[in-house]
């Protein structure tokens, strides 16, 4: 009975295994304590890794990896059965397994420092394997407060966080979805290349486009450089009307299929409760035009937009993102080891190479100039998403580097971007954060 306090006391008094970042950095560990529970769960850099470790508490259950790997960490998993028998026979205190994550401390710290107090999230992936190199969300919380042996104080700390209007307990990186804005133009561009178009194919780019079947006009937020421009130029300056026309030409089935090849409409990163990003069903032409530029009902997590860049960077192959590399018994024997897995071929290698070059033009000459890294060729795409006229826009940036041998793909969202609505918010606010993360990795 989980409600039985003696059962709960016994579990809370266990010597849980550690959760480790790359380089064996302990991000959750257990230390002896001089109270009735004997062992205290401690988070050395609590706020920095809270979204990954989650918390382990007496009254408020657990979240994050503490929850997903509870049986292994507590030492009650079937794989540790023999170990438990040996411990019992030798009268040794049972010890849990440790969980080795893929998180790289210096990349995680760079992401957290660059995001600062801005509300938002950062995800960094290894394009070749799918390993999550950094996963940051802001505002965050200190899991030590909820793991306290002062049960009353821990309960109050949890209630305070749960009722906070800024939602510090939310995993904005993998469990929240937002309108992706112009970062979604990468998906539309990929669909256009799959349809036989080239980077130099020309598209109508009027100053404003009347949405089919309505009296509403879609404006551009930049000077597109002409009324008929190449797809490369349209991506470089993030031209709304060109991409809306491209989407209308491609049709909703092609666009939806391309989005799903990049991972939309499927859950990812189940270890951290990741949710599915969404591409809408059954649209009229006006809704299709808006969806082509990442508006209407298109919704994506930062993890999903990092996956789009990662697949493009990896010559079109999308790898399954993962955050746990292995689970090790107390004697360091591997109990579980992750095997890299391909999710899909989102693009042909030839088309992916062309889109890589187009993304490099966005950074070297276009809206993504703030992501430039000295001596490194970077590919990227800005986005400014407006979900509601009453609220400030979301600033997005997604990128990868280096161009010739990608080692990292990044997505950044800053909620409530405090700049004029028609500004390229992603370029101004989110791109410098992505740059800091890429520099830490390279």
Residues known to be catalytic: 182
- CA distances to 24, 42, 52, 65, 189 from 27, in Å: 9, 8, 9, 11, 40
CA distance 303 to 323: 12
Q: ω into residue 139 within 30 of 0, thus cis?
A: yes
Torsion angles phi and psi, residue 272, rounded to 5: -115, 20
Q: CA 355, CA 378: separation in Å to the nearest integer?
A: 12
CA distances from 117 to 29, 57, 415, 417 (A): 27, 26, 11, 12
- Token duo for residue 422: 């028609």
CB of 192 within 8 A of CB of 250? yes
Tokens read off for 278: 């969404």
Contact 367, 427 (CB under 8 A): yes
Angle at 194 between CA 368 and CA 308, to 5 degrees: 40
Cross-strand bridge partners of residue 396? 383, 413
What is the Cα–Cα distance from 271 to 221, expressed in whole angstroms? 39
Burial class (CB in 10 A: 0-12, 13-18, 19+), 350: exposed
Q: What is the Cα–Cα distance from 351 to 261, expressed in whole angstroms?
A: 14
Query: Tokens in use for 288?
Result: 């299709």
**Using H for helix, E for strand and C for coil, what is the string for 218-260?**
EECCCCCCCCEEEHHHHHHHCCHHHHHHHHHHHCHHHHHHHHH
CA distance 138 to 271: 20
């Amino acid at each position: 009975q989980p409600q039985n306090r003696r059962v709960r006391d016994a579990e809370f008094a266990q010597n849980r295994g550690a959760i480790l970042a790359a380089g064996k950095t302990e991000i959750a560990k257990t230390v002896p304590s001089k109270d009735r529970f004997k062992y205290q769960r401690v988070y050395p850099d609590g706020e920095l890794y809270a979204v990954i470790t989650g918390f382990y508490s007496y009254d408020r259950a657990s979240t994050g990896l503490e929850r997903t790997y509870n049986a292994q960490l507590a030492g009650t998993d079937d794989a540790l059965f023999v170990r438990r028998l040996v411990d019992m026979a030798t009268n040794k205190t049972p010890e849990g397994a440790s969980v080795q994550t893929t998180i790289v401390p210096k990349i995680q710290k760079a992401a957290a420092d660059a995001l600062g107090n801005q509300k938002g999230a950062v995800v960094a992936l290894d394009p070749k394997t799918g390993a999550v190199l950094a996963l940051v969300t802001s505002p965050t919380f200190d899991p030590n407060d909820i793991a306290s042996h002062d049960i009353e104080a821990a309960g109050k700390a949890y209630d305070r966080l749960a009722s906070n209007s800024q939602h510090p307990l939310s995993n904005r990186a993998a469990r929240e979805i937002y309108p992706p804005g112009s970062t979604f133009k990468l998906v539309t561009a990929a669909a256009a290349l799959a349809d036989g178009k080239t980077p130099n194919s020309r598209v109508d780019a009027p100053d404003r486009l009347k949405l089919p079947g309505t009296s509403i006009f879609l404006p551009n937020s930049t000077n597109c450089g002409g009324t008929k421009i190449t797809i490369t130029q349209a991506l470089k300056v993030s031209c709304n009307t060109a991409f809306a026309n491209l989407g209308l030409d491609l049709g909703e089935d092609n666009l939806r299929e391309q989005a799903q090849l990049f991972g939309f409409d499927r859950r990812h990163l189940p270890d951290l409760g990741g949710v599915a990003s969404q591409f809408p069903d059954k649209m009229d032409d006006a809704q299709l035009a808006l969806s082509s530029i990442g508006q209407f009902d298109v919704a994506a997590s930062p993890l999903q937009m990092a996956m789009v860049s990662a697949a493009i960077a990896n010559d079109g192959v999308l790898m399954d993102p993962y955050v746990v590399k292995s689970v090790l018994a107390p004697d360091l024997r591997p109990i579980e080891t992750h095997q890299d897995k391909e999710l899909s071929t989102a693009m042909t290698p030839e088309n992916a190479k062309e889109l890589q070059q187009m993304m490099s033009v966005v950074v070297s000459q276009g809206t993504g100039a703030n992501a430039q890294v000295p001596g490194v060729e970077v590919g990227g795409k800005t986005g400014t998403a407006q979900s509601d006229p009453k609220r400030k826009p979301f600033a997005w940036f997604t990128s990868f580097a280096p161009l010739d041998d990608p080692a990292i793909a990044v997505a950044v969202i800053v909620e409530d971007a405090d700049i004029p609505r028609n500004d390229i918010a992603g370029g101004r606010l989110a791109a410098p954060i992505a740059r800091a993360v890429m520099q830490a990795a390279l």
